[in-house]
Amino acid sequence: MSRYLLRQLSLLLVTLWLLTLLAFGLGHWFSGDFITNTSGIFPEDIRFADVAEARAAGADVFSQYSAYLSHLFRGDWGVSLLDGEPVFEQIALRFGATLEIALLAFILALLPGVPLGVIAALYFRKTIDHTILTLSLSGYSIPVFWFAQIAILVIAIHWGLVPISGQINPLYEITPRSGSIILDIFLEQPEHMGAALHSAFAHMVLPICILAIMPMMLIIRLMRNSMLDVLGQNFITSGYAKGLSTARVLWNHALPNAMQQVMRQLGTLISLLITNTMIIEVIFSWPGLGSWLVRSIYERDYPVIQGGLLVISALILLITIALNIFHAWRYPQVRKDLYAAS
């Protein structure tokens, strides 16, 4: 296990290093001056000379890269070209907001997704199975940006049930600290805490529900397919031969093994979730990383693009590696396969 851990961690280091190379390269590939692109300081600015020197402007690429790395580790990620806000602090703030809806949507997707997938597998090729499968395939094909607009039109505007966009009613004056609105309300302890929480939930419910749909449909299909695979295995038969009840065979043997297969494909799910989170954030003006990154691309705010890319990709890589390690730790027989392959 420690050997595997070491390998995965070195893999993480290598990929993160590649990522910094990419981000560094972006500074050169973007149009405009390299120093401005990475630091966000315009040549007209009086600080420009200092910054240029600190970032090794005239020197060769290698010293530029090492200067870039040292800035990166110090948390000096430059400032936004648009509003002059420091990128690193903005990221820290927006990270929480993104994580909040992504996590909640993920949980919301998991709760009905797993049982529905199991049910479909148990009623293989019966009407229930066909219905669930058809629904999940069509649900998977709904373009999320279109569906979100329709939901806003019907639920938020026409029925007026929930607000259209934003995190909370600005009247509550919650200062963002962690980025996650619920956490911020608890940190702030405002006068009308109940009402503030209610407002936050009302703002949150629509984006989270819409965000949860596509991952849920994917989970249903993954779960059904792996469950079908597991139910055909011999150890299910031997479970029945031991005289176990159907419920115990499913719960003790079928489900854990099916979950293992689903775990393997969780990477696809995470990438789907992140993609949709970015789009949803743009639509609902959610102050997270995704909407920020998209806006910065549109406005050619290069330091923000670099920072946003670095953080989102690093997050995905971290989750992937963590999943790999967890998978190998939880399911010992996988480790054997891994050693055999290497």
Partner 1 sequence: MPRANLYYEERSPAPLEMVWLEFRSKPLAMAALYMLLFITVLTVIGPLLTPYGANEQFIDAISLPPAWSESGNIRFLLGTDELGRDMVTRLIYGARYSFGLPVLVVLIAATIGIVLGAAAAMTVGVKSSTLKHLLDVLMSIPSLLLALIIVAILGPGLGNALFAIGLVLIPQFLHVTRNAIHDEQKRAYVTASKLNGVSKFYLLSHVIFPNIIKILVVQFTIGLSVAILDIAALGFLRLGAQAPTPEWGSMLAQSLEVAYVSPWIMALPGLALFLTLVSVNLVGETLRVAINRQLER
Partner 2 sequence: MLLDIRNLTIAKDTPTGRVNVLERVNLQINEAEIHTLVGESGSGKSLIARAIMGFLSSSWHIQADRLWFEEQDLLNLSAKQRREIIGVDVAMIFQDAKSYLDPNLTIGEQLQEAVLDQDLSGGFWNRRKQRKERVIQLLHRVGIKDHSAMIESYPHELSEGAAQKIMIASAIAHRPKLLIADEPTSTMEPATRQQIYRLLAQFHARHGMSILLISQDLGAIMKETERLTMIYSGQIMESGSTRELLDAPHHPYTEALLNTSLYQQAQRPPRSRLPTLAGTEPSMQHLPIGCRLGPRCAYARPKCVQTPDFTKKRDRGFACHYPLHLEDDA
| Site for partner 1 contains 5 (CB under 8 A) | no
Cα–Cα nearest to 166, from 174, 311, 87, 189: 174
Which entry of partner 1, partner 2, none binds 237, CB below 5 to 8 A by partner kind?
A: partner 2
Burial readout 228-253 (b: 16 or more C-beta within 10 A, e: otherwise): bebbeeeebeebeeeebeeeebbeeb
Q: Which of partner 2, partner 1, none interacts with 38 (beta carbon under 5 to 8 A by kind)?
A: none
For residue 317, state whether it binds partner 1 (rule: CB under 8 A).
Answer: yes
228 binds, among partner 1, partner 2, none (CB under 5 to 8 A by kind): none
Among 43, 75, 115, 256, binds partner 2 (CB under 8 A): 256
Which residue from 138, 233, 237, 245 is in contact with partner 1, where contact means CB under 8 A? 138
Q: By CB under 8 A, is residue 241 in contact with partner 2?
A: yes
Decide if residue 26 touches partner 1 (CB under 8 A): yes
Q: Select from partner 1, partner 2, none the partner in contact with residue 4, using the beta carbon and a kind-dependent cut-off of 5 to 8 Å.
A: none
Q: How far is CA 312 from CA 250, 305, 319, in A?
A: 38, 11, 11
Binding partner of 275, given partner 2, partner 1, none, CB within 5-8 angstroms per partner class = partner 1
Is residue 162 close enough to count as binding partner 1 by CB under 8 A? no
Task: Tell me which residues in 111-130 interact with partner 1 (CB under 8 A).
Answer: none
Q: Which of residues 274-313 bind partner 1 (CB under 8 A)?
A: 274-275, 278-279, 282, 293-294, 297-298, 300, 305, 309, 312-313
259 exposure class (CB count in 10 Å sphere: 0-12, 13-18, 19+): middle
| 234 part of the interface to partner 2, by CB under 8 A | yes
179 binds partner 2, rule: CB under 8 A: no
CB of 100 vs partner 1, minimal distance in Å: 19
Q: Is 4 in the site for partner 2 (CB under 8 A)?
A: no
Of the candidate spans 99-107, 137-145, 165-173, 240-248, the one that interacts with partner 1 by CB under 8 A turns out to be 137-145
CB of 244 to partner 1, least distance (A): 27
| One residue of 8, 169, 260, 261 binding partner 2 per CB under 8 A | 260
Cα–Cα distance for residue pair 178/92, rounded to 1 Å: 7
Q: Does 235 bind partner 2 (CB under 8 A)?
A: yes
The least distance separating partner 1 from the CB of residue 165, rounded to whole angstroms, comes to 12
- Could you tell me which stretch among 37-45, 89-97, 231-239, 279-287 binds partner 2 (CB under 8 A)? 231-239
Q: Residue 188: left if φ>0, alpha if ψ -120 to 50, beta else—which one?
A: alpha
Stretch that binds partner 2, among 156-164, 174-182, 276-284, 326-334 (CB under 8 A): 326-334
Among 253, 276, 308, 324, binds partner 2 (CB under 8 A): 253
Contact set with partner 2 (CB under 8 A):
233-235, 237-245, 248, 252-253, 256-257, 260, 331-333, 336
